[in-house]
């Protein structure tokens, strides 16, 4: 696959004022979210929900790409497979290719991401179905003595092999090492762990000869743990996040897309705005949010076709807010639905 085609995909994903919609929740995860709202966890309801997301009017003004789940990439929207329906609307279709996490042997609490077995063949299939990029997520727990070097190294090798195989298949890999917010750790501890993880990941990507110019990094912001009594303010989060990234991420990487990682929708947007508005960096900065884009839409929908328009407006609004944040132009006025100053 010519590098030029991968570069075209990268450029489309990093289009100005846009970000990526992560709609790749596993059956278990989306089922749990449906259960809270008393929505039946069936394939038909999942298809209806994701269809309303992807057919939101003017969504492509703020969303450049969508990450799909295996079930979704094989479903139809308006008589076309989902990737074709997205591409027709100006949104690049992608696919989550890992198979989730399992307990890492020997270290309670740590996780290892599975999915390498048969990956080369699955990538070929996804490409034929219309995918143009891929994503693989590894998670790292912050705790006493955690994450261990063994966990970091094992997940880094999986991320690097995934990325190399994706590029071989003509697909742009999004490498996602996520340092979890769960815990009472300080922002400084999050920065320390994130730095170690990113340095290890990029060293391993180099070993596997992954072309940094045709991949994206998806990572979390440097924040205090959810249960930390002293929560860092938005300015401190932006400062620590950019300091960490400047020290760990090579300039050859074209873009970094932030995950929301359990933050509230508004908090994720506020912090994204502070990071993107803080100053010049060698990468394009954007977002790849899941819950922070979808929560309001899911609550508005409630599983009823009568609520589709309201749900789509909720999604459109959150996408627009984050589109402004990427420019460093988000404000309370924008959040309220007004025009930017």
Which CATH code, of 3.30.390.30, 3.40.50.11260, 3.20.20.70, 3.30.300.130, is assigned to 3-335?
A: 3.20.20.70
End-to-end CA distance of the chain: 45
Peptide bond connecting 324 to the previous residue in cis, omega within 30 degrees of 0 = no
Q: Could you give the CA distance from residue 103 to residue 85 in angstroms, rounded to a whole number?
A: 37
What is the rounded CA–CA span in Å between residue 19 and residue 122? Answer: 26
Report the alpha-carbon distance of residue 175 to residue 156 in Å, rounded. 10
Taking residues 311-323, what's their average pLDDT?
98
Rounded Cα–Cα distance for residues 308 and 318 (Å): 16
176 as an active site residue: the answer is: yes
The whole-number pLDDT of residue 107 equals: 86
Per-domain residue ranges of the chain: 3-335
pLDDT at 341: 41
Q: What is the mean pLDDT of residues 196-204?
A: 98
Q: What is the largest CA-CA distance in the chain?
A: 55
Burial level of 95, CB count in 10 A (0-12/13-18/19+)?
buried
**Cβ atoms within 10 A of the Cβ of 143, count?**
17
Position 279 confidence tier, pLDDT thresholds 50, 70, 90: confident
Average pLDDT, the chain: 96
Q: Both tokens of residue 55? A: 């057919």
Contact yes or no for 277/240 (Cβ under 8 A): no
pLDDT over 90 (residue 1): no
- Which is nearest to 221 in space by CA: 235, 248, 242, 192? 242
**Region 29-55 average pLDDT:** 97
Considering 18, 96, 111, 218, which one is annotated as catalytic?
218
| β-strands 92-96, 101-103 pairing | unpaired
User: Does residue 31 have a pLDDT over 90?
Assistant: yes
What are residue 32's DSSP bridge partners?
Answer: none
> What count of other Cβ atoms lies within 10 Å of the Cβ of residue 178?
17
Query: Which of the residues 25, 110, 176, 239 is marked catalytic?
Result: 176
pLDDT at position 171 over 50: yes
DSSP code, position 144: T
Residue 309 has pLDDT above 90, yes or no: yes
277: which 2 tokens? 């508005």
* pLDDT for the residue 340: 53
What pLDDT is attached to residue 3? 80
Alpha carbons 247 and 192: distance in angstroms, whole number: 11
The mean pLDDT of 11-27, rounded to a whole number, is: 98
In the chain, pLDDT over 90 holds for what percent of residues? 96
Catalytic residue check, 168: no
Evaluate if pTM is beyond 0.95: yes
């Amino acid at each position: 696959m010519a590098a030029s085609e991968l570069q075209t995909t990268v450029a489309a994903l990093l289009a100005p004022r846009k970000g990526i919609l992560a709609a790749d929740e596993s059956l278990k995860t989306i089922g749990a979210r449906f259960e809270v709202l008393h929505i039946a966890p069936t394939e038909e309801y999942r298809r209806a929900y994701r269809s309303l997301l992807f057919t939101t009017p003017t969504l492509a003004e703020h969303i450049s790409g969508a990450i799909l789940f295996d079930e979704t990439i094989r479903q139809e929207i308006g008589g076309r497979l989902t990737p074709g329906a997205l591409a027709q609307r100006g949104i690049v279709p992608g696919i989550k290719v890992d198979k989730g996490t399992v307990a890492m042997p020997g270290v309670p609490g740590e996780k290892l991401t599975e999915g390498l077995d048969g990956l080369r063949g699955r990538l070929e299939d996804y490409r034929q179905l219309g995918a143009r990029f891929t994503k693989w997520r590894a998670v790292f727990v912050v705790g006493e003595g955690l994450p261990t070097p063994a966990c970091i190294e094992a997940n880094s090798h999986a991320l690097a092999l995934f990325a190399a195989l994706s590029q071989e298949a003509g697909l742009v890999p999004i490498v996602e090492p996520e340092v979890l917010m769960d815990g009472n750790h300080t922002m400084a501890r999050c920065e320390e762990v994130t730095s170690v993880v990113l340095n290890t990941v990029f060293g391993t990507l180099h070993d596997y000869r992954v072309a940094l110019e045709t991949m994206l990094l998806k990572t979390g912001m440097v924040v205090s743990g959810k249960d930390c009594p002293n929560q860092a303010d938005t300015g401190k989060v932006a400062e620590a996040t950019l300091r960490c990234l400047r020290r760990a991420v090579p300039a050859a990487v074209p873009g970094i897309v932030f995950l929301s990682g359990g933050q509230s929708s508004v908090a994720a947007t506020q912090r994204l705005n502070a990071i993107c508005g803080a100053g010049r960096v060698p990468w394009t900065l954007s977002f790849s949010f899941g819950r922070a884009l979808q929560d309001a839409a899911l609550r508005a929908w409630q599983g009823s076709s009568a609520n589709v328009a309201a749900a789509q407006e909720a999604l459109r609004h959150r996408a627009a807010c984050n589109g402004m944040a990427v420019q460093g132009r988000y404000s309370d006025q924008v959040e309220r639905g007004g025009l930017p100053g």
